[in-house]
Amino acid sequence: MYVTGRVQGVFYRATTRDEARERGVDGWVQNLEDGRVEAVFEGSEEAVEAMVEWCHEGSDRAHVEDVEAVYGEPGGLDGFEIRR
């Protein structure tokens, strides 16, 4: 996932981690140098789709302009982390 807008410095990563853990989704989230946020989600199709939908809103302080979802094969991630 690539999320564009005011998504850095507004608790987007922390809130994404919390939402993913609540839904039983594994993966990670990180800020990119160009101002976007990148995230990888692994889990049931239903849980991953719920995360994709959630990313359109994000944290309360975020202003999401665009979400690009790229689908691929799972990599066997365990847990959900914020990458720096």
Listed by start position, the domains of the chain span 2-83
* Sequence-separated (6 or more) residues with CB below 8 Å from residue 34: none
pLDDT above 90 (res 54): yes
Task: Please tell me which residue in 6, 17, 23, 31 is annotated as part of the active site.
Answer: 31
Question: Confidence class of residue 3 from pLDDT cuts 50, 70 and 90?
Answer: very high
Does residue 83 carry a catalytic annotation? Answer: no
Does residue 31 carry a catalytic annotation? Answer: yes
pLDDT of res. 84: 87
pLDDT tens digit string along 6-51? 999 999 999 999 999 999 999 999 999 999 999 999 999 999 999 9
pLDDT of res. 77: 96
pTM value surpassing 0.85? yes
Closest by Cα among 49, 42, 46 to 21: 42
CATH code for the part of the protein at 2-83: 3.30.70.100
**CB-CB contact of 3 with 66 (8 Å):** yes
